[in-house]
Every structure is written in C-alpha cells, then in structure tokens.
Amino acid sequence: MKTNAVRILEELGIPFELRHYDVDPDDLTAATVARKVGLPPEQVFKTLVVRGDRNGVCLAVVPGDAELDPRALAKLTGDRRVEMVPLKEVQPLTGYIRGGVTAFGCKKAYPVFVDETVILFDVISVSAGARGTQILLAPDDYLRALHAVTGEFARARAN
C-alpha cells in the first residue's frame, strides 16, 4: 500500500525506509510505536495538529518521548497562544486519523514546525500517513521536503 507520504517522497527522490508494525488501537503512543519499529522514543517523531490565535492551523512535530510546549511554539509561530486541535477536527483538517497523522500530503499545506532535536539523529521515524506504517528518513530530507521550520518547543513529558 502506497500512502500519499510515500508518493511524495518518491516524487522528490528522497530515500526512505518503511517499517510496518501491528497496531493496537488502544495504545497509539509514540513510545509503543518506537518499541515496535526498534527505535528509541526520542527518534520517533509525532505530528500534532495545533491552532494559533493569529495564524491558524499548523503542524507541530515533536519527539515521541516529549510533549508540546504551547508557549514556546506560539513564540515561534508568531501567535499569542496555540492549542491542540480537538480530535474530532483532526481528520477533516488533515485527511488523517489519530495515530496516522503525517505532515506529508495533508488536505492543505499547513506550516510545519519541527522540534530542533530532530537534527541530533542520522535517521528519524515519522508516520507514513496510516496506522501501522512508519517512514524512516534523514532529518535534513524531512525538513527540506516540508519546508519546515525548526525551533525549541518540546519539553519532557510530565509524569
């Protein structure tokens, strides 16, 4: 099965690897996905859909072992504040369901912001646009393909 993300990467000539895993609909956490694809959670990036009060919807990509710092992201986007989009709006906005959201091939080309830790790795993992499939690729290729902006807006997950 070819997802939009795979088609886009192929069209751009960007090398990547697909990793498939069994999906547990009751546990879609990035930490679980990381374990199933054989990478540490900080190397598996999750795509969050957020809305700023000035600039509207954007995508925030953070490491699997972290959470979004809304104030830090707002500063980067030029908004006064940003909030997570309610789950019921994610699919109508992006075309993707929870656990399968990717910045590639959304219904609209939203601005993409990626936490700066992405550059620490030779390879990162992101959703391929469907639950059960991850794309592994070089961070530079990911950033370039999406015209993404990097910044510091992830924080350690509160336990």
Task: Say how many C-beta atoms besides its own lie within 10 A of residue 38's C-beta.
Answer: 11
State how far the Cα of 111 lies from the Cα of 26, in Å rounded to an integer: 29
State how far the Cα of 65 lies from the Cα of 30, in Å rounded to an integer: 7
Please identify every stretch of the chain with a pLDDT value under 70, giving residue numbers as ranges: 159
Task: Give me the residue spans of the domains in the chain.
Answer: 4-156
Q: What is the CATH number of domain 4-156?
A: 3.90.960.10
Identify the pLDDT of residue 157: 82
